[in-house]
Structure 1
Amino acid sequence: MARKKVPVARFTVSVPAELLRELDRMAAEKGYNNRSLAVADMIRDELVEHRQRTGQGEIVGTLTLVYDHHTRHVQETLTELQHEHHERIISTVHVHLDAHHCLEVLLMRGPAPQIKRIADALIAARGVKHGKLTVTTTGHDLPG
């Protein structure tokens, strides 16, 4: 299947020479063919983060939780919260890390403020030692 040709726009940016050298070094290390591709990806990344912070649009994300399963009622609390938000939680993976700790990864999708609220509630549950929400776009709202 051929990729659809996306129209491009050119613009000029002035930056200090050392900053440009660092950009070129980073782009090469990451395997970009040219700096335009690297800059476009950085812009997309910032747009996704901005939309998540400002609550605009739908996002997808992964919530990673590490918890001590010996903490009283932690598993019941996490399961109950997940059931309350079943329409936003697409999938979960549960891994036993050792005799006391579990890792749970939740795939989530929905409006940014709702996903953030759900993640905050799960992270705040008693027994959760660490939690981190990582978000991205669904792709349909970002060009190129």
Structure 2
Amino acid sequence: MTMDDDLSRIGISLPKHLLDRFDEILNYRGYSSRSEGIRDAIRTYITYYKWMSDVKGLREGVITMVYDHEQRGLLTNITDIEHEFHAIIKASLHSHVSHDKCLEVILVHGDGSQLKALAERLMSMKGVESVKLNTIQIEE
């Protein structure tokens, strides 16, 4: 028996709009079930996590973040985190995407572990919908 044959059942709670959008994508991509789509999403998440683990050395990069600015306390928390990491943040751009959604682009420069730490702190906050870190290594 392979590891994929050893299945575990889980239960999750999702906002209806998120599940509806997920179902649309599954249908468009031809998935046979939600379970297969969720397994694929988890594999992608694990791959991204492994890639993030390899971010080392002097790096230049960009963090893109989408969040709900109506989430209580989120703006204060984002500001506090950005101040904590001020040494690696070179610039940021804030855009109002809709009434309650914002896009923030943060240019960063520094040690890969610090860039990764900043991205992970941002992605762990309630109300943050998406955080992506893209970097290139700087030749010293």
Q: TM-score range by the shorter chain?
A: 0.5 to 0.7
Alignment-derived partner of residue 3 in structure 1: none
Alignment-derived partner of residue 13 in structure 1: none
For the 8 Å contact 1:56–1:111, the answer to whether it is kept is: yes
Query: Gaps (5+ residues) in structure 1?
Result: 1-50
Alignment-derived partner of residue 79 in structure 1: 79
TM-score (norm 2): 0.60
> Separation in 1 of the partners of 2:95 and 2:85?
21
Partner SS state of residue 103, structure 2: strand
Shift of 1:83: 0.4
Partner SS state of residue 115, structure 2: helix
Mapped pair 1:113 → 2:117: no
> Separation in 1 of the partners of 2:99 and 2:75?
15
For the 8 Å contact 1:60–1:108, the answer to whether it is kept is: yes
Mapped pair 1:101 → 2:101: yes
Partner SS state of residue 98, structure 1: coil
1:86-144 per-position Cα deviation (integer Å, ceiling 9, x unaligned): 00111100000010100001011111111101110011112101111111123x34xxx
Larger Rg: 1
Alignment-derived partner of residue 68 in structure 1: 68
Partner SS state of residue 77, structure 1: helix
Alignment-derived partner of residue 133 in structure 1: 133
Alignment-derived partner of residue 88 in structure 1: 88
> Separation in 2 of the partners of 1:53 and 1:96?
31
Partner SS state of residue 91, structure 2: strand
AA in 1 matched with 2:114? Q
> Separation in 1 of the partners of 2:68 and 2:100?
5
> Separation in 1 of the partners of 2:79 and 2:90?
14
Shift of 1:58: 0.3
The verdict on how the C-alpha distance between 1:68 and 1:117 changes in structure 2, with shifts beyond 3 A counting, is: same
Alignment-derived partner of residue 44 in structure 1: none
> Separation in 2 of the partners of 1:73 and 1:63?
21
> Separation in 2 of the partners of 1:135 and 1:56?
10
Identity %: 32
Q: Which runs of 4+ in 1 moved over 2 A?
A: 51-56
Aligned-pair Cα RMSD in Å? 2.0
For the 8 Å contact 2:55–2:116, the answer to whether it is kept is: no
> Separation in 2 of the partners of 1:102 and 1:56?
29
